[in-house]
Structure 1
Amino acid sequence: MTATLDVGATEINPVAKLLAALTLAVGLVLSVDWVSASTALILELILLAVLRVRLRALLHRGAILLVAAATTALTITLYGEPSGTVHWHFLLITVSDGSLTLALATFLRVLAIALPAVFLFLDTDPTELADGLGQVLRLPARFVLGALAGVRMIGLLGQDWRYLGYARRARGVADHARLRRAAGQAFALLVFAVRRGSLLATAMEARGFGAHSTRTWARPSPFGVREIALIATAFAIVAAAITMSVATGQWNFIGSR
């Protein structure tokens, strides 16, 4: 079975979500202007509403993106290339019309590019995505299964970090020098991860993973009309955003800067 949207909507293959997100990302990086970014963002929100994606879950997963976009916009506002009227200047900080416009365009563009990625991982199971990558995109099974195994192990990092902290506290080495303790604990976590990855690779090879060029899959990964419609919608959003930007004279190809 493929991943669902968790709200009663029809099931969509994770590969279609991935291709749609890549289409939007590639189309939106061609220009740095607020018109194309805002157009794409509005159309994406409409698409998510049509797909009945829960807004609360989307905001919960994407809250960090709002912070990242705002931080990026603030940095560009203060240190972007000045142009037009200068509103404030102090040492290396210059706030001008050009930096404000570029900051707004960057803020909207980060949200427009990141929103589909949040939608992609909102309810997609890694195993279902791996099934799609192997059956729909025909990627090598060795690469797909290795990546899936690695993703499955990411959840153990948090548990390892807690256990390392408990062990250091039991030995009495976690009471002082927090920065040094964090650096040492991070190195120990890296060593654990490398060891676990080596053991996992050995175990998978012992079980015959990657021994043959062709492989069968336990679950089918259908790719039909719904998936094609989603990808076509992504192309339509990019086309509408670029058309609106060119029509308003705001198109600013990134290679010309």
Structure 2
Amino acid sequence: MAKLGAGLLIALPLILSVDWVSALTALLLEVPLLLLAGLGWREFWWRTAPVWIAAPLTGVTIALYGQASGAVLFEWLFIRVSEGSLELAAAATLRILAIALPGVALFATVDPTDLADGLSQRVRLPARFVLGALGGLRLVGLLVDDWRELAVARRARGVADTGRLRRLFGMAFALIVLAIRRGSTLATSMEARGFGAPTRRTWARVSPWGAREWVLLLAGAAISAAAVAVSIATGAWNLILGGTI
């Protein structure tokens, strides 16, 4: 819950304003948190690879096709690159990195059971909803095994040699059917064990909350406050709610 709260605190100013100063400030201040997340360098780059790919692509798209403002630097057909579109592209790229990187790094080491305990005991979400989501999350890993078994079975029957696109849709439909059947079986077994009882339930493990959690929340709040302060001080603050983007 502390990791979730810190991530939300960091993302708040980046959602409210479209400017590259606050995003860059937050991104630089997040470096210590990323180093303390407990991920090795190889695992960090592997888990955050989609973010590093999506952020520049978003920036390039906005730079080429975003709303033009200021001096136009390049124009060809539907492409119009201006000073304003470049600034907006830089802000969007940095915002994606500043919001997504701490989220991926912090949640990479979160155990689903610990997350469910925190949501129920600290956030006070309904236990029925939390336990159902936890049960479904535990089955996500089985989808990979099911896909491999389907591929091997179809190849053994000789129906996977041609028509790759048709094979893909066929396997996807079979995987959906298997997931629905397994989900129904899981729901029935959980109901039989009393997971949906209306009485107040007890928990096998207590979700801890102490000084470390408060320090992490304070770090997220400090990063958020510093990003806003630097952006306002430099005059780059651009509040979305004010309609000034």
TM-score w.r.t. structure 2 length? 0.94
1:182 aligns with 2:168: yes
In the TM superposition, residue 51 of structure 1 has moved relative to its aligned partner by 5.9
8 Å Cα contact 2:38/2:109 also seen in 1:
no
Partner of 1:5: none
Partner of 1:228: 214
Whole-Å Cα distance in 1 between the matches of residues 73 and 167 of structure 2? 45
1:134 aligns with 2:113: no
Whole-Å Cα distance in 1 between the matches of residues 38 and 184 of structure 2? 42
In the TM superposition, residue 251 of structure 1 has moved relative to its aligned partner by 0.8
Q: Secondary structure at the match of 1:209?
A: coil
Q: Secondary structure at the match of 2:16?
A: coil
1:47 aligns with 2:47: no
In the TM superposition, residue 52 of structure 1 has moved relative to its aligned partner by 6.0
Counterpart among 205, 212, 220 of residue 198 in structure 2: 212
Count of residue pairs brought into register by the alignment: 243
Letter in 2 for 1:35: V
1:123 aligns with 2:109: yes
Q: Which has the larger displacement, 83-92 or 148-157? A: 83-92
Letter in 1 for 2:28: I
Supply the RMSD in Å over aligned alpha carbons: 1.5
8 Å Cα contact 2:34/2:106 also seen in 1:
no
Instruction: Give a deviation string over 1:145-193, Cα, whole Å, max 9, x none.
Output: 1111111011011111111111222222222221122122112211111
Q: Secondary structure at the match of 2:86?
A: helix
Whole-Å Cα distance in 2 between the matches of residues 120 and 72 of structure 1? 23
Letter in 2 for 1:235: A
Whole-Å Cα distance in 2 between the matches of residues 197 and 176 of structure 1? 32
Whole-Å Cα distance in 1 between the matches of residues 73 and 161 of structure 2? 48
8 Å Cα contact 2:64/2:85 also seen in 1:
yes
Partner of 1:198: 184
TM-score w.r.t. structure 1 length? 0.89
Whole-Å Cα distance in 1 between the matches of residues 234 and 40 of structure 2? 33
Whole-Å Cα distance in 2 between the matches of residues 91 and 183 of structure 1? 37
Whole-Å Cα distance in 2 between the matches of residues 223 and 249 of structure 1? 39
1:246 aligns with 2:229: no
Name the CA shift for 1:209/1:50 in 2 (closer, same or farther; >3 Å). Answer: closer
Superposed, 1:60-139 pairs within 5 Å as 60-139=46-125
Counterpart among 3, 8, 19 of residue 33 in structure 1: 19
Percent of aligned positions with the same letter in both sequences?
Answer: 59
8 Å Cα contact 2:3/2:107 also seen in 1:
no
Letter in 2 for 1:18: L
Partner of 1:11: none
Instruction: Give a deviation string over 1:176-229, Cα, whole Å, max 9, x none.
Output: 221122122112211111111111000100111121331111111111111112
Instruction: Give a deviation string over 1:101-127, Cα, whole Å, max 9, x none.
Output: 111111110010001211222211101
Q: Secondary structure at the match of 2:172?
A: helix
Whole-Å Cα distance in 1 between the matches of residues 180 and 68 of structure 2? 46
Whole-Å Cα distance in 2 between the matches of residues 156 and 52 of structure 1? 26
Whole-Å Cα distance in 1 between the matches of residues 21 and 41 of structure 2? 24
In the TM superposition, residue 47 of structure 1 has moved relative to its aligned partner by 3.0
Whole-Å Cα distance in 1 between the matches of residues 111 and 64 of structure 2? 41
Whole-Å Cα distance in 2 between the matches of residues 212 and 32 of structure 1? 46
5+ residue gaps, structure 1? 1-14
Partner of 1:17: 3
Partner of 2:139: 153
Whole-Å Cα distance in 2 between the matches of residues 137 and 78 of structure 1? 43
Whole-Å Cα distance in 1 between the matches of residues 178 and 44 of structure 2? 33
Whole-Å Cα distance in 1 between the matches of residues 173 and 76 of structure 2? 40
Whole-Å Cα distance in 1 between the matches of residues 143 and 157 of structure 2? 21
